[in-house]
Amino acid sequence: MLLKVASASLISRKLTVTLTTLAIAVSVFVMLGVEHIRSEARQSFSKTVSGVDLIIGARTGPVNLLLYSVFHIGSASNNISWHSYQTLAKHPLVSWHIPLSLGDSHKGYRVLGTSKNYFKYFKYGQKQSLTFAQGQAFDHDFDAVIGAEIADKLGYQLNDEIKISHGVAAISFHHHDNKPFKITGILKATGTPVDQTVHVNLQAIENIHQDTPDTDSSHHDSHDHANDIKVTPDFITAFMVGLKSKAATFVVQQQVNNFSDEALLAIIPGVALTELWQMMNTVEKTLALISALVVIASLLGMITLLLASMKERMHEIAVLRAIGAHASFIFLLIELEALLITSLGILLGIILLNGTLLASQSWISSHYGLFIDANIFDTTLLTYSAGILMVAAFLALAPALLAYRHSRQIT
């Protein structure tokens, strides 16, 4: 009966109640959205790289190195010399190594120059290796392996030819027009930046930057493929290393950091990630605080609505009392109305957030390399909803107690 009266009362005030509900929905959208993207971003970040013991690049901040080498966010301020790479690659404790060379793009997607080791040793998520949906790793200089999303978005198939531009903007004025790459492999989706990367042979990157094929660079052993001109690059952006023993990680890291030929930095991915989270912590807390305040503001709006209507509801209270309603019925009626509006707002906010995430998922992933799951239903959601309802119930004490006191002593 209480629920029937409360809902009828709200329906009779459609306009104000709808607006208040919308305000709560938007605030819930903000709060849950911030929380969801925060936790998803963490998850997305931490599953991007696994099984790599050290990442080595030019001396810069650890977070910066991590961001450009793994997440392809921002760009390297400095490269490292091929010589240093070769020297460290021969380190007795190094089991495997993957060179990384960034700086080019194809239609806004990053191009990564690397070696076949990438497909052999690079791991993501729970130590999963990259697997091919179609085709295989590159064999020749002008072969390319593309990520799942590129294949999907641009509709590429095996043996399609693509062109690579210098720089990383979607529209580049400097195309390496004369040298198309042939797609030899398409990777399965990983939910990491790999999906948005064009992988080519490291030598190819070097080659397309040569103005003439005939250079004075040190030619290595001749190759049977006519198009391949074997040049070793002078520089690479960074490289990943797997060690023979985990226990050696800190020793090797120390040695790299003290490398005398060149200023280098070796980072342990997990440690750098932790550092990144610490940097983000303040931002996250600020955002959480702001979103909590937005929710409270919207709840205060609802309380204002309930308080403002209290004067015109005095008759209603008198009638309810006269037909035998206990004062607690009046109290509960107001509380229930507040909770109904809040629940409706939360529900609407959740639907809004879910819809928005579904709609913008691919946009977020292609622009920020973040893979945000549109599924927001977890225990955090329940905790937050329960928390919001509790705050609403607490704030609604003001109008509810006013109505209660009035009904105890009708004037």
Partner 1 sequence: MKTVLDLEKLNYTWPGSRIPTLSIPHWQIKQGEHIFLYGASGSGKSTLLKLLAGILLPQQGQIRILGTDITSLSARARDRFRASHIGFIFQQFNLLPYLSVEANIKLATHFGHQARQSQSNNIKNLLRQLALESSILPKQASQLSVGQQQRVAVARALINRPQIIIADEPTSALDSDSRDNFIQLLFDNASTNQSSIIFVSHDKSLAGHFDQHLSMNELNRLENSHAA
Residues making contact with partner 1 (CB under 8 A): 1, 4-5, 8-9, 11-12, 315-316, 318-327, 409-410
Residues 6+ away with beta carbon under 8 Å from 381: 32, 350
Query: Nearer to partner 1 by C-beta: 36 or 313?
Result: 313
Query: Nearer to partner 1 by C-beta: 228 or 316?
Result: 316
Strands 197-201 and 109-114: parallel
Q: How far apart are CA 236 and CA 83, in angstroms?
A: 10
Identity of residue 65: L
Query: Nearer to partner 1 by C-beta: 326 or 367?
Result: 326
Distance in Å, CB of 49 to partner 1, minimum = 60
Distance in Å, CB of 4 to partner 1, minimum = 7
Nearest to 84 by CA among 206, 251, 255: 255
Query: Nearer to partner 1 by C-beta: 176 or 313?
Result: 313
Distance in Å, CB of 309 to partner 1, minimum = 12
Query: Nearer to partner 1 by C-beta: 6 or 238?
Result: 6
The answer to whether the beta carbons of residues 43 and 360 sit under 8 Å apart is: no
Q: Which residues pair with 199 in a beta bridge?
A: 112, 145
Query: Nearer to partner 1 by C-beta: 289 or 308?
Result: 308
Distance in Å, CB of 409 to partner 1, minimum = 7
Chain centroid to CA 14:
39
Distance in Å, CB of 338 to partner 1, minimum = 17
Q: Return the structure tokens found at 383.
A: 């905790």
Give the DSSP H/E element, type plus range, for residue 250.
helix 249-257
Query: Nearer to partner 1 by C-beta: 8 or 15?
Result: 8
Q: How far apart are CA 217 and CA 240, in angstroms?
A: 25
Chain centroid to CA 278:
16
Distance in Å, CB of 379 to partner 1, minimum = 37
Query: Nearer to partner 1 by C-beta: 15 or 323?
Result: 323
The answer to whether the beta carbons of residues 199 and 151 sit under 8 Å apart is: no
Q: How far apart are CA 366 and CA 321, in angstroms?
A: 61
Query: Nearer to partner 1 by C-beta: 220 or 405?
Result: 405
Residues 6+ away with beta carbon under 8 Å from 234: 81, 82, 217
Strands 128-129 and 123-124: antiparallel
Strand ranges inside 41-86, DSSP E: 54-58, 80-81
**DSSP state string for 292-336:** HHHHHHHHHHHHHHHHHHHTTTHHHHHHHHHTT--HHHHHHHHHH
Distance in Å, CB of 12 to partner 1, minimum = 3
Residue 84's Cβ-count burial label (10 Å; 0-12, 13-18, 19+) is buried
Distance in Å, CB of 326 to partner 1, minimum = 4
Distance in Å, CB of 313 to partner 1, minimum = 10
Query: Nearer to partner 1 by C-beta: 263 or 319?
Result: 319
How does DSSP classify residue 209? T
Distance in Å, CB of 6 to partner 1, minimum = 10
